[in-house]
Chains A and B, each alone.
Chain A
Amino acid sequence: MPFNINIPVQNFSLGPESGFFYYVSNTLNALIKLETDGTVIQVYPIQRSRLRGTITELHWDGSHFWTMEDLPSQLGLVIKRWRITPVQTAQGLPPGVFPVPAPTDFTWQDEITLINAPNLRYVSKAFCVEHYHRFLDGSFVQGQTTLRLNDVSELSTGDTITIGPSTAGSFTGFQEDVLVTNVNPTTRFITIGSASGLENQYTDTDPVSFTKSVFLFNDHAFSGEEDRKGAILQYAWPSKNVILTGNGMRYNNVGAADFDFTSLFWVRADQIMEVNIGTNTFDVASSNESNLREDDQTTIIEVFDMITDLSNNQHLKLQNRETVEDVPTGNYTTFSWGNDFNYQVQPTLTVVNSISLNSDTRFSIPFPSGDHIQWVAEVRDQYNFPVFNETIQFSAAMHPLSDAGIPGTFDPTTGVTTTSGTVETEYTPSVTPNPIIVEIQAQVL
């Protein structure tokens, strides 16, 4: 039974150190850092807050963690922002004295508390954080108030950015938050609001990140009842003001969500859906069938949390069971991890996801009938779009419930899909005195 991180909770995320996963444990009251094989590396105890419900999702925005938990007595829910502290920086230290305090705690920073309101009941298992990652374009020293980034899109005056961790000499690992007071979209220079300038020194390509808003997927809309109509709410950060609301069933019953580049991704039933938040219409930009049925092809597998990693063309879906396909046979098998959770990878690059077989005729009269039956196989990817240039092989076999007989023949037996994702063939039934049942298959070679 394949497993990877094998964690006991239904939340996970990436974090400050690449190559590691993190989760929040209600039992241990801590943030846990672990290797990709599930080995626990470090435990950061929670500080300045108390968990009031099971953590349903965990996100990392480049500088902070975010969690969501239900409030007791069905009061609503709370989204909290956390940071691993103490943050390493040079602030307040004498020149040349740079002690390196070890990060030890998982410390509450802020929160959005959502109490059920007359017009809205908060029931949600998914939220995500609109965050962006940039890099410094050049090296910058302590005291500088003007920086240059590789890209200033989405960045506005008034935003707070996190610079670092630094890779500059004795400042390695240091970071700081600064307020942006001016952005020049042409030169990509920004001015920061600290009179004393940068606290640390940075080198070219050191990371910069900033958070703009939080999206909440709610099961119910704005009737004040549990109407199952679904809603999405966007809260500006750090003001927490609601700046967008929308309703629709697509936002209902969402199990997990994430944000990457400029798109929201969320899991609803079988699909990972995408909206590019830069579009005015907020239309669904893509929908990815994500292998979320057990091998009976009926029971849905729940996704509890998700990491979208577009740079590596994948979504990592946190599940307590997974269905895998044996490619040579096409058979599916579902593995359960019991009370533990592992991630299953769902590719964002297109792969063959389904083949349909289409014919107007499925009955041929026996004996030398002269029948020639046209079949069309259509190949589609996980986005339900046609797949071009796939080689398809047709085959026929006797159905287990059939009387003995000989299957017919195809001409051609293989073909390559067109831009419509289709391949055509002609089936000639065998000469048979009695009715027989034949199974026809199309398979990607």
Chain B
Amino acid sequence: MVKNIRLINANMTRVDGYFYSFDHQTDTMIQKADDGTLAFAYPLDTPIGQPINDLEFDGQSFWTMENISGTPSAGFRIRRWVIENFVMVLQQTFNFASDGNDTYESSAFTVETYTSSLQSGASENTNIIQVAFEDDIFDLLTRGTRMYIGPSTKQSPTDFRGQYQAVTVNSINEATNQVTLSSNLNVGFLGGDTVVFSKHLWFLNQNYQTTAGVGALYKADSLNGNLLLRQQGGAYKDIDAAAFHEVSSFEGNFVQFNKPYLIFIRTNNLLFVNVNDDNLTTELSAIQNNLNNDTTEVYAIYDLGLQGDTIFRLQLKFNINGTESSENTYNYQLATFRPFPIAIAITADPAILPADAGVSSSAIEATVTDQYGLAFVKSPPAQIQFDTTGGGTGSSLDNTGLIPLDQFGKASNVYHTGITPGLVTISAEVTI
């Protein structure tokens, strides 16, 4: 029932409207359109012996994770690839083989990648560029960091349109947002042209060091694969899909949540870790609908593709609008970072009243929350409408019309008793 990209492997990333996936059977990276039509395929220049667990794209390179052998606890390798002359060419391999210090066993990793733009044009044959990263991101541009600029939109006096250039950071000047490169540019760029860089690799390990089954988050340098940090946590265990994304879907009081996150799926929650916080705080959690109708089965999510406020979840099983289905290929189900109401909590105080013909009343309060468990707040405010069923003759609500939600996602009403006893059900429907 749910057939879109129809992948035969449990790895996927999305780039410029196409879906990419590595196939270890043919040693190929395939490129598909939304309906599963094969658009192109790139042979690998190096064989991959095991299925790819996870695939990421950092703006320039594709990154893969595969087990070293058929024994997952033996470790894994993370590889970086680029497309050169229609072939996927291996650039680097970082082996994380289990040893006396760590038992590496992971199915999910991501590349910490930041995207911004040039603040001003950069001519060819210069080694200074000015970039528009936020201060805390700009500080990550340490010596040796590899940046990727492009596509160029500069067409005069030399036409560089569509060209890219990989550069290496030599030094930065925080006061001017200037970056001095280790060598001159060969390509000219205009202000506004895209700049990306990758900083770290993050993987979610089943084990903390050699302690099995406790879960841990590991951080490594994306330039050399050197391990930089381990943090134990049960939330990092049994993770199949992770990604890195600059979320920008929040408005109003919640704009402080717009920032880059390490994002991974844990059962049916997306967890958002702020990797630039020393404590690696999980700042958000978003409930996902990867459940069957009975809520007894959580559908596995094998990889994530993120673009703007859209989440592409790679799954074999689906529940779309209450219709369950199971496929023999991997397809995506959509979700969104954009807050939308998923729950209305209604309280009545008191909850039991005598049938005293309106002498008694109960304060009714509804709280609307989104998938993050945050109050659903927007501008103009969403509205809510209360209704009652059952209850004694003559019972009523103060306000039966649309009531705007306040800044906490709440709306109030008053229930007045009738003259005969009975069970009263008060419901509410939110209008966005």
Contacts and interface: CB of A to CB of B under 8 A. Distances in A.
Contact of A270 (B27, B41, B85, B310): B41
Contact of A357 (B28, B30, B34, B320): B34
Contacts of A384: 31, 39-40, 86
5 contacts: A249-B47, A269-B26, A356-B17, A367-B431, A376-B17
A356 B34 contact: yes
Contact of A378 (B16, B46, B320, B340): B16
B338 interface: yes
B321 interface: yes
B321 to A, nearest CB: 5
A250 B88 CA distance: 9
B340 A365 contact: yes
B308 interface: yes
Nearest to B307: A360
A172 interface: no
B250 interface: no
A359 B6 CA distance: 20
A248 B432 CA distance: 57
A88 to B, nearest CB: 45
B321 A286 contact: no
B190 interface: no
Interface centre among A229, A297, A355, A402 (most CB of B within 10 A): A297
Interface string B1-39: 100001110000000111000000011101111111111
Given A269-B26, A384-B31, A402-B321, A289 B46 contact: no
A14 interface: no
A297 B36 contact: yes
B43 to A, nearest CB: 5
A192 B8 CA distance: 59
Interface in B112-131: none
A430 to B, nearest CB: 14
B309 interface: yes
B47 A358 contact: no
A273 interface: yes
Interface in B273-324: 307-310, 320-321, 323
B195 interface: no
Interface string A352-380: 01111111111101110100000010101
A300 interface: yes
Nearest 9 Cβ contacts at the A-B interface: A360-B308, A358-B17, A356-B17, A354-B39, A287-B86, A363-B336, A270-B41, A384-B40, A283-B85
Contacts of A289: 38-41
Contacts of A298: 6-8, 329
Nearest to B34: A357
A228 B431 contact: no
B44 interface: yes
B43 A401 contact: no
A284 B39 contact: no
Contact of B1 (A253, A270, A287, A401): A401
Contacts of B39: 289, 353-354, 356, 380, 384
A273 B45 CA distance: 14
B338 A253 contact: no
Contacts of A411: none
A147 interface: no
Given A365-B340, A380-B39, A248 B87 contact: yes
A227 B47 contact: yes
A125 interface: no
Contact of A284 (B33, B86, B334, B338): B86
A393 to B, nearest CB: 16
Contacts of B36: 297
A297 B33 CA distance: 11
A249 to B, nearest CB: 5
Interface centre among B33, B86, B87 (most CB of A within 10 A): B86
A286 B8 CA distance: 26
B45 A250 contact: yes
Interface centre among A293, A298, A358, A376 (most CB of B within 10 A): A298
Nearest to A268: B43
A269 B41 contact: yes
Interface of B: 1, 6-8, 16-18, 26-28, 30-47, 85-87, 307-310, 320-321, 323, 329, 334, 336, 338, 340, 431-432
A358 B16 contact: yes
A403 interface: yes
A330 B157 CA distance: 44
A360 B309 contact: yes
Contacts of A365: 338, 340, 432
B308 A359 contact: yes
A108 to B, nearest CB: 35
Nearest to A366: B432
B338 A297 contact: no
Nearest to B325: A401
B320 A437 contact: yes
Contact of A249 (B16, B40, B45, B307): B45
Contacts of A376: 17
A350 to B, nearest CB: 13
A167 to B, nearest CB: 42
Interface in A292-345: 293, 296-298, 300, 330
B38 A252 contact: no
A248 B47 contact: no
A394 to B, nearest CB: 13
A271 interface: yes
Contacts of A293: 38
Given A284-B87, A367-B431, A297 B32 contact: yes
Contact of A401 (B44, B46, B320): B320
Contacts of B340: 363, 365
Contacts of A285: 85
Nearest to A400: B1
Given A363-B336, A365-B340, A369-B432, A249 B31 contact: no
Contact of B6 (A286, A296, A433): A296
B432 to A, nearest CB: 5
A378 B310 contact: no
Given A359-B308, A363-B310, A249 B46 contact: yes
Interface centre among B16, B39, B334 (most CB of A within 10 A): B39
Contacts of B26: 253, 269, 300
Contact of A297 (B1, B6, B86, B307): B6
B339 to A, nearest CB: 9
Given A248-B87, A287-B40, A401-B323, A270 B47 contact: no
Given A285-B85, A286-B86, A289-B41, 5 more contacts: A227-B47, A249-B43, A270-B28, A354-B37, A363-B309
A250 B33 contact: no
Contacts of A437: 320-321
Nearest to A369: B432
A159 B320 CA distance: 69
Nearest to B335: A363
Contacts of B16: 356, 358, 378
A164 B340 CA distance: 78
Contacts of A270: 28, 30, 38, 40-41
Contacts of A362: 310, 334, 336
B33 A363 contact: no
B40 A284 contact: no
Contacts of A400: 1
A405 B280 CA distance: 44
A271 B309 CA distance: 34
Given A249-B47, A296-B6, A356-B39, A269 B334 contact: no
Contacts of A363: 309-310, 334, 336, 338, 340
